[in-house]
A and B are shown apart, each in its own frame.
Chain A
Amino acid sequence: MSAAPAVVHTLKPLRVESVDIGPTDASTQLHPAMNQASAAPEPPLYVRTKAPDWLPRVLAPIIGLALFVALWAIIAKAGGRLPDPASTWHSALEVFGSPFYKKGPNDQGIGWNVLTSLGRVGIGFGMAALIGIPLGFMLGRFRFLSDMAAPIISILKPVSPLAWLPIGLMVFKAANPAAIYVIFVCSLWPMIVNTAVGVRHIPQDYLNVARVLDLSEWTVFRKILFPAVLPYMITGVRLSIGVAWLVIVAAEMLTGGVGIGFWVWDEWNNLNVQHIIIAIFTVGIVGLALEQVMILLARRVSYE
């Protein structure tokens, strides 16, 4: 400690002589001096910026949700038949208290309804992936096929998936396969399009590696095409699942049976508005969970 002031003294005249030594010397000189003068002048600067860093990020969504519920309560109080948050909450506890009961084909727990809907989405979506991803690879790889498919995809993509329902009912003559088929149709487009885009966006560098090594087509596919396209494919899958989950509720309202969409419609017929609100939240939370799973998956396969 006694050495520091000595350095300060020997350096001071040097600094006066040459301006070049400049800021670095000034800081080494000032530092011990400031430590002696005031005990701890640094901490406040850090504390002020550091503590609120995570706090608002946690608080903001809580405040947002609270405001939402408050607004809901106010609207419910103002009149109409909208149930208030408290009664909906009690009703939800009841519904989720026994999610897996079965009292005949049209009266089952919410758990069964959600699982049935997820099952339809899974089957429809799975078949779409089985067909859409290879098709996307082919469209991405061969210009001619892509030009051939372009008008069909452009025309059919904007069609509401529900418009396909009557055709499904006609072909399958049953509600359940028709609903699955609607999911299949709406999941198909994002997967074809994204996979094709991914194939088209493979950097030329990677393909040059394949060319100079003269790799076999199968190796190129396994080691270069597939891993390069995977992130795009996952995006396609994510969009597909999102759309499928949107569509299943509407499709089930029309087809009936077991499923979260049918449950909503059934509760509407029973005029049980609390249950409808519960269903809305359930659909939202399940959709959010699906999305998060896909984001996790995407992060796992991203290589950057």
Chain B
Amino acid sequence: MTDRYLQIDNVAMVFETKKGPFCAIEKIDLDIRAGEFVSLIGHSGCGKSTLLNIVAGLLRPTEGHVLLAEREVSGPGPDRGVVFQNHSLLPWLTCFENVQLAVERVFGAAEKKAAVKERVRRALELVQLGHAQHKYPHEISGGMKQRVGIARALSIEPKVLLLDEPFGALDALTRARLQDELMRIVAATGSTVLMVTHDVDEAVLLSDRVVMMTNGPAATIGGILAIDLPRPRDRIALAGHRRYMALRAELLEFLYRKQMREAA
């Protein structure tokens, strides 16, 4: 069971458009182990976000199904923690209240107010934002907002963490810091993670496996690359690591040699 913690079985997605049916993804089969970090990489428009949204339950696949811990995903639910690219914090709530909204939903019925607040506090401390908990989203930086987003997703103790290009909107330095932090958090919590990215270095640095998607329409899995680098990983040490370079080269090869032609 733990080998097939998250099962994506023969999933296809066809959108009805004005110009007729548009097949975004087809025949996607992917099993993810408990505690595994899997990245989806591909050119924009390859349907990787579509796949993530299907796992999140925001979209219903036109074919196939998704099983999480042996239960079919039939809609969105708090057993999956989603981090959106644009943080999606509610601007009228403080960081604390944004996280509290999620914690209250999941633990509010069973736990006392104090316990709920303690969970919120712990989640914010996990992303090192304990000091900014009473600030509003517009008062903090983009990186901090994204960290609150991660705290919100983790605070509900989801079975799987779904990250949709979580660091795509951040500058390079902030992105590197948050990647390191995400590695630390995932190691500490043992989370199962499915992440969408278009950043080769990010994929290699963070993942156990990288799923390479072919270009759409009718995108599917073009190959899966196992990242057999030891953990904990250090970005500086890896920069000159031979295996790291080889994996990176393989990903680049796939993205820019095999898939480029069609992407243009």
A205 adjacent to B76 (CB under 8 Å): no
Known contacts A211-B58, A214-B105: does B78 contact A224 (CB below 8 Å)?
Answer: no
Write out the residue numbers on chain B whose beta carbons fall within 8 Å of the beta carbon of A208.
58, 82, 84, 88
Write out the residue numbers on chain A whose beta carbons fall within 8 Å of the beta carbon of B57.
211-212
A219 adjacent to B90 (CB under 8 Å): no
B86 adjacent to A223 (CB under 8 Å): no
Chain B: minimal CB distance from A161 (Å): 34
A209 adjacent to B88 (CB under 8 Å): yes
A213 adjacent to B78 (CB under 8 Å): yes
A217 CB–B CB distance under 8 Å: no
A205 adjacent to B93 (CB under 8 Å): no
The distance in angstroms between the C-alpha atoms of A209 and B148, with both chains bound, is: 13
Chain B: minimal CB distance from A211 (Å): 5
Question: Which one of A211, A214, A219, A304 contacts B91 once the chains associate, using CB atoms below 8 Å?
Answer: A304
The distance in angstroms between the C-alpha atoms of A213 and B156, with both chains bound, is: 9
A206 CB–B CB distance under 8 Å: yes
Known contacts A205-B86, A223-B90, A224-B90: does B136 contact A211 (CB below 8 Å)?
Answer: no
Question: Which one of A209, A214, A215, A219 contacts B75 once the chains associate, using CB atoms below 8 Å?
Answer: A214
A227 adjacent to B92 (CB under 8 Å): yes
Q: Interface of chain A, helix or strand or loop or mixed?
A: helix
A205 adjacent to B88 (CB under 8 Å): yes
The distance in angstroms between the C-alpha atoms of A206 and B137, with both chains bound, is: 13
A223 adjacent to B56 (CB under 8 Å): no
A213 adjacent to B105 (CB under 8 Å): yes
The distance in angstroms between the C-alpha atoms of A223 and B91, with both chains bound, is: 11
Among B76, B102, B138, find the residue whose CB has the most chain A CB atoms closer than 10 A. B76
Q: 1/0 per residue A281-304: CB within 8 Å of B?
A: 000000000000000000000011
Question: Which one of B75, B77, B93 contacts A223 once the chains associate, using CB atoms below 8 Å?
Answer: B93
B93 adjacent to A212 (CB under 8 Å): no
The distance in angstroms between the C-alpha atoms of A228 and B92, with both chains bound, is: 8
Q: 1/0 per residue B85-108: CB within 8 Å of A?
A: 010101111000000011001000
Write out the residue numbers on chain A whose beta carbons fall within 8 Å of the beta carbon of B105.
213-215, 219
B80 CB–A CB distance under 8 Å: yes
B88 adjacent to A206 (CB under 8 Å): yes
The distance in angstroms between the C-alpha atoms of A224 and B92, with both chains bound, is: 9
Q: Which of A180-229 contact B (CB under 8 A)?
A: 205-206, 208-209, 211-215, 219, 223-224, 227-228
The distance in angstroms between the C-alpha atoms of A20 and B88, with both chains bound, is: 45
A214 adjacent to B77 (CB under 8 Å): yes
Question: Which one of B78, B84, B90 contacts A214 once the chains associate, using CB atoms below 8 Å?
Answer: B78
Chain B: minimal CB distance from A232 (Å): 13
Chain A: minimal CB distance from B228 (Å): 32
Known contacts A303-B136, A304-B138: does B82 contact A212 (CB below 8 Å)?
Answer: yes
Write out the residue numbers on chain B whose beta carbons fall within 8 Å of the beta carbon of A304.
91, 138
Question: Which one of B78, B82, B92 contacts A303 once the chains associate, using CB atoms below 8 Å?
Answer: B92
Q: Which of B112-149 contact A (CB under 8 A)?
A: 136, 138
Write out the residue numbers on chain B whose beta carbons fall within 8 Å of the beta carbon of A227.
90, 92
Write out the residue numbers on chain A whose beta carbons fall within 8 Å of the beta carbon of B88.
205-206, 208-209
Write out the residue numbers on chain B whose beta carbons fall within 8 Å of the beta carbon of A205.
84, 86, 88
Write out the residue numbers on chain B whose beta carbons fall within 8 Å of the beta carbon of A219.
101, 105
A–B complex contacts, Cβ < 8 Å, 7 sampled: A208-B82, A209-B101, A212-B82, A213-B78, A223-B101, A227-B90, A304-B138
List the interface of chain A (C-beta within 8 A of B). 205-206, 208-209, 211-215, 219, 223-224, 227-228, 303-304
Nearest 3 interchain pairs by C-beta? A227-B92, A303-B92, A205-B88
List the interface of chain B (C-beta within 8 A of A). 56-58, 75-78, 80, 82, 84, 86, 88, 90-93, 101-102, 105, 136, 138, 156
Given contacts A209-B84, A213-B105, A228-B92, 15 further A-B contacts (CB under 8 A): A208-B58, A209-B88, A212-B56, A212-B78, A213-B101, A213-B102, A214-B76, A214-B105, A223-B93, A223-B101, A224-B90, A227-B90, A227-B92, A303-B92, A303-B136
